[in-house]
Amino acid sequence: MTDKQSYWDNQSDIYQYPDSPVLKNIPGIKDEQELASFEKLAVANRLEEAHQFALNKPIKFDLWQNIHHILFQDIFDWAGQIRTVQMHKNNSIFAHPENIEREGNQLFTKLNNAN
């Protein structure tokens, strides 16, 4: 990824610093490698909290959003929220924003039905 290439697609968006592939983040880190290291540590520090929160709760889309918020709350202001732009990372293309909630609900319904 070049310095000017978008993390999400080939346009700059609200989730990244202008003219940078780095996602806007709470500590203000603007280096990709430094942010990746910070993210790993911050998420690791929140894993037990996320686990405890999820215990005995029905597996549903809103639980997934809450887990995302718990894990990433120290890194991104938008943690746990449905994103508003198309996103890809490396060779993985993620769901279109307008489909996330619907597809998430369908997926969790299938998982619950499969027990």
The domains located in the chain, with CATH, are 47-114 (1.10.3290.10)
pLDDT, residue 11, reads 54
Q: What angle do CA 97, 31, 39 make, to 5 degrees?
A: 60
pTM: 0.82
**Nearest to 3, CA basis, from 26, 25, 32, 37:** 32
Q: What angle do CA 67, 73, 74 make, to 5 degrees?
A: 140
Could you tell me the two tokens for 86?
């198309």
pLDDT in tens, 92-105: 888 899 999 999 99
pLDDT band at 38 (very low <50, low <70, confident <90, very high): very high
Query: Mean per-residue pLDDT for 68-81?
Result: 97
Residue 32: predicted pLDDT: 92
Task: With cut-offs at 50, 70 and 90, classify the pLDDT of residue 6.
Answer: very low
- Asked if pLDDT for residue 12 goes beyond 60, the answer is no
Segment among 4-18, 29-43, 52-66 with least mean pLDDT: 4-18
Mean pLDDT rounded to a whole number for the chain: 87
- Mean pLDDT on 36-57: 97
Read off the tokens for 12. 């700059």
